[in-house]
Amino acid sequence: MATTEPLLINCGSHGKRVSAVVCCHMLKADLPPVGFVENSDDPNDLQAWCNACEAKFQAEGEMTEAFRKFNGMTLVCVTCYAEKKLVHMTQPSGGSYAV
Ligand SMILES: [Zn+2]
Ligand SMILES: [Zn+2]
């Protein structure tokens, strides 16, 4: 099985780590949780964006230029990614956990 080399990033707070991708909205620390929609759970290629980005993506139907601009994909390290997940993941309203 072919394994993809993880892309490394030199994170200011965590040092050299595997990189992950989040949208720009999650990086504004003083905002209330914006949601956390995970698109890839490959540990070498983690990707997530917020609820607003998910709605925008649904509206656009695909990765359009307008979506990319709105999303503002940013590389972070996997530790930062895990922290963003904790901060922005909102409680499911229906009481059941979707996996
Ligand atoms: Zn977003
Ligand atoms: Zn980091």
Neighbouring residues of 82: CB distance < 8 A, sequence distance ≥ 6: none
CA distance 61 to 82: 27
Mean pLDDT throughout 13-38? 92
What pLDDT was estimated at residue 91? 60
CA distance 14 to 64: 32
Closest ligand relative to 11 C-alpha:
2
At residue 97, does pLDDT exceed 50? no
CA distance 10 to 95: 38
What is the identity of the amino acid at 22?
A: V
Closest ligand relative to 16 C-alpha:
2
Å from CA of 42 to ligand 2 middle: 18
Mean pLDDT throughout 38-61? 95
Mean pLDDT throughout 32-49? 94
Sign of torsion over alpha carbons 2, 77, 64, 98:
positive
- Tell me the CA end-to-end span of the chain in Å, nearest whole number: 26
Position with higher pLDDT, 3 vs 11: 11
At residue 92, does pLDDT exceed 60? no
